[in-house]
Amino acid sequence: MASSTEAESVNPAPSGKKAKWNKKQAVDESELLTVPEGWKESPFTKEDNPKGLLEESSFATLFPKYREAYLKECWPLVQKALGDSHIKATLDLIEGSITVSTTKKTFDPYAIIRARDLIKLLARSVPFEQAVRILEDDVACDIIKIGTLVRNRERFVKRRQRLIGPKGSTLKALELLTNCYVMVQGNTVSALGPYNGLKEVRKVVLDTLKNIHPIYNIKTLMIKRELAKDPELRVQSWERFLPNFKHKNLNKRKEPKKKTVKKEYTPFPPQQPESQVDKELATGEFFLRESQKKRKKLEEIKVKQAEALTKKQEERNKAFIPPKEKPVKKAKQAPAEGKIDVEAIKEKVKKGKFKKLGAPPVRPASEVPTAGTKNGKNKG
């Protein structure tokens, strides 16, 4: 009994230690996931790979004819930039191609991949000042092909112009929010910048070609940029802050006037129509003589002619048929109570004659003064 009680008293202590250790481990893992501010990876030097590369690698790309003059001008600068990584570059103006390859002195194995991206960007009309940034460690590039996303050429040009915006304002806003350089040229969009920014640029470009206006994605990026400044919100979900734009199709499809109803599918073929011989056999005409057949046809023709004559005669007789006259309605007598007073109307007409415009008011005969009086008074 004593041994069991001792064991029970000893067991709780290690469990508490394990819980504390698990908490510390969880905290350490969360700290490891976040990169401290200001931290940078040390650059790859010759000391990391003193023996160099075993095999030679090379990449080539074609460039359009209109880029030939610009590449001639900036080619010494390209060779100088690649020479620091010991990469050999050749420009073939006859074939219209650029080739980069490693040498015996090349120590960085990833340098040839950056050189390949550099010549791709130069071929896609990216200026050398921007394209040379690909040789840095924290810069990547993405060439998005947009030529096959829209079939109609006019619609494709409109959507591509929508991505650029008036005087390049939309493209400039996208560059500021993603910290990337974006170049729209022909059937491709070239982007150059950090990895997180390239993801956003690709999403905006593809959505724009799918008829989603870039302003919606730009608004979302602006909200995300403000939320990233708050350290407390880094771990939380941002869905409640982000706008939810719903696609509203206001233009309803016009329905046709005549709707064709599809018949039910049957694996059996339709019944063949009866031939003339079958119809004659059914009616018995097949066994008649030629003279009898002719008589029957003449009788049918005469019947049809008689029907046509009767119809024509009816149409002609329609003109001689008088139209139906409407019955005359008798005037209703006015009720006895509502009789008109003729004498009252005559008096009103007489009064109206005297009340003409500009005429003096008429006095009755009793009020008119006589010749022997003045102002209605007799002389004394």
Residue 3 in this model has a pLDDT that exceeds 50? no
The mean per-residue pLDDT over the stretch 34-48 comes to: 80
Model pLDDT, residue 157: 94
Residue 297 in this model has a pLDDT that exceeds 70? yes
- The SS3 assignment for 50 reads coil
Which residues 6+ apart lie within 8 Å of 118 measured at CB? 78, 81, 82, 100, 131, 132, 134, 135
Model pLDDT, residue 76: 94
Structure tokens at 293: 């057949």
Model pLDDT, residue 263: 84
d(CA 175, CA 181): 6
pLDDT band at 293 (very low <50, low <70, confident <90, very high): confident
Q: Are 198 and 182 in contact (CB under 8 A)?
A: no
- Average pLDDT across the chain, whole number: 82
Model pLDDT, residue 82: 93
Model pLDDT, residue 71: 94
d(CA 333, CA 311): 50
- Positive or negative torsion for Cα 3, 4, 7, 8: negative
Model pLDDT, residue 328: 78
- Positive or negative torsion for Cα 62, 67, 139, 170: negative
pLDDT band at 177 (very low <50, low <70, confident <90, very high): very high
Both ends of the chain: CA-CA distance in Å? 166
Residue 156 in this model has a pLDDT that exceeds 70? yes
Residue 265 in this model has a pLDDT that exceeds 80? yes
pLDDT band at 201 (very low <50, low <70, confident <90, very high): very high
CA-to-CA separations, 201 to 79, 118, 122, 205, 364, in angstroms, rounded = 30, 19, 19, 6, 107
Residue at token pair 């200001």: 38
CA-to-CA separations, 304 to 279, 280, 299, 309, 310, in angstroms, rounded = 21, 21, 9, 9, 10
Model pLDDT, residue 309: 94
What pLDDT, in 10s, does the model give residues 215-264? 999 999 999 888 888 888 877 888 888 888 776 665 666 777 788 888 88
The mean per-residue pLDDT over the stretch 51-71 comes to: 92
Residue at token pair 């030529």: 147
Most confident range, picked from 31-40, 191-200, 222-231, 276-285: 191-200
pTM (global) more than 0.75: no
Q: Are 211 and 159 in contact (CB under 8 A)?
A: yes
Of 312 and 349, the structure prediction assigns the larger pLDDT to 312
Residue 376 in this model has a pLDDT that exceeds 50? no
The mean per-residue pLDDT over the stretch 310-338 comes to: 78
Neighbours of 102 (CB within 10 A): 23
Model pLDDT, residue 5: 43
Mean pLDDT is lowest, of 69-73, 94-98, 187-191, 326-330, for 326-330
Residue at token pair 């491709």: 188
Mean pLDDT is lowest, of 85-99, 202-216, 346-360, for 346-360
* Cα atoms in the 13 Å half-sphere on the side-chain side of 85: 28
| Helix (H) or strand (E) run with residue 176 in it | helix 169-178
Residue 8 in this model has a pLDDT that exceeds 60? no
Model pLDDT, residue 37: 74
Of 168 and 31, the structure prediction assigns the larger pLDDT to 168
Residue 22 in this model has a pLDDT that exceeds 80? no
Which residues 6+ apart lie within 8 Å of 354 measured at CB? 361, 362
Model pLDDT, residue 100: 95
Model pLDDT, residue 218: 92
The mean per-residue pLDDT over the stretch 89-115 comes to: 93
Which residues 6+ apart lie within 8 Å of 99 measured at CB? 58, 59, 60, 89, 90, 92
Amino acid at 367: E
Model pLDDT, residue 2: 41
Residue 377 in this model has a pLDDT that exceeds 90? no
d(CA 341, CA 345): 7
